């Protein structure tokens, strides 16, 4: 996880922006709040950028790579 702390700020910021622009369902899964059908409602009122940044520090590297790959594939489908 220390390697993520040493990432350039623009890379971390881009990851956060990509995650923020994803669907509410993706965001809930990323934050580990996907076990209830109303989970997207939990996102309202949160400082999502801070929560995502915290999650980036905690999430296992392999899982983070899968999420980032999924985001990349979603962007490609939208283009």
- Residue 60 phi/psi, 5-degree rounding, is -60, 145
Residue 1 has pLDDT above 60, yes or no: no
| pTM metric for this prediction | 0.69
Write the burial class of residue 9 (CB in 10 Å: 0-12 exposed, 13-18 middle, 19+ buried): exposed
Residue 2 has pLDDT above 60, yes or no: no
d(CA 10, CA 21): 16
The count of C-alpha atoms lying within 13 angstroms of the C-alpha of 34, restricted to the half-sphere facing its C-beta, is 10
Instruction: Read off the pLDDT of each residue in 9-21 and give the average, rounded to a whole number.
Output: 88
Residue with tokens 């996907």: 34
49: Cβ–Cβ under 8 A, 6 or more apart, which residues?
16, 20
């Amino acid at each position: 996880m220390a390697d993520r702390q040493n990432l350039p700020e623009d890379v971390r910021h881009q990851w956060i922006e990509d995650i923020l622009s994803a669907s509410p369902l993706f965001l809930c899964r990323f934050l580990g709040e996907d076990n209830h059908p109303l989970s997207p409602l939990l996102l309202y009122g949160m400082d999502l950028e801070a929560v995502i940044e915290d999650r980036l520090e905690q999430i296992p590297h392999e899982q983070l790579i899968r999420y980032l790959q999924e985001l990349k594939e979603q962007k490609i489908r939208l283009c």
